[in-house]
Amino acid sequence: MTSKLSASTTVDSEVIMRKQRRLSNLIAKPKSLLLGLSLGLVLMMTELSNLINLLKVDKVPSAIIKTGRSFPFKVGVAAIISKDILKFVNTKLAQQKELEIKIVTFNGWIQPNTALKFRVIDANFFQLQSFMNNAIK
């Protein structure tokens, strides 16, 4: 009689262990889902923040140049040397052609592509054709 009791106790403990594992899995899945959703939300907020920063720049189309009148031509730059070159062009050369260049500085190399795609700027100072083709898709 003792052996029957111990056999049923072993079976009962295995059943209990299986139920505990199932319960642990049920609890773990929502935790991992919540973690994944949280990570996705953080990434989405980061991209939204980048887009908001892009939209802070004046969006009025300004690349139209008429005789006798100067419109600012917005050029995006991501490097200090690009900015210095454009400052030189703006002060020494652009006035001869009645151009005004407005320099828009970005913190990353992708942001000028995005700004150009959404017509926030009129030109990107440095752009490879292959990257531009991918950016405008």
Confidence of residue 34 (pLDDT cuts 50, 70, 90): low
Taking a C-beta distance cutoff of 8 angstroms, is the pair 103, 87 a contact? yes
Mean pLDDT of the residues in the chain: 69
Say yes or no to pLDDT of 23 above 80: no
Q: What pLDDT digit, counting tens, does each position of 57-88 carry?
A: 444 344 444 444 456 778 888 877 778 888 88
Taking a C-beta distance cutoff of 8 angstroms, is the pair 112, 120 a contact? no
The total number of residues written for the chain in this structure = 137
Q: What pLDDT digit, counting tens, does each position of 94-114 carry?
A: 777 677 888 888 888 788 888
CATH architecture of 72-135: 3-Layer(aba) Sandwich (3.40)
| Residues sharing a CB contact under 8 Å with residue 118, sequence separation 6 or more, in sequence order | 54
Q: How far is CA 92 from its chain centroid?
A: 36
Closest C-alpha to 102, from 113, 81, 86: 86
Would you kindly state where each structural domain of the chain is located, as residue ranges?
1-56, 72-135
Q: 3-class DSSP state for residue 31? A: helix
Q: What pLDDT digit, counting tens, does each position of 45-57 carry?
A: 665 555 455 444 4
Least confident of 29-43, 55-69, 112-126: 55-69
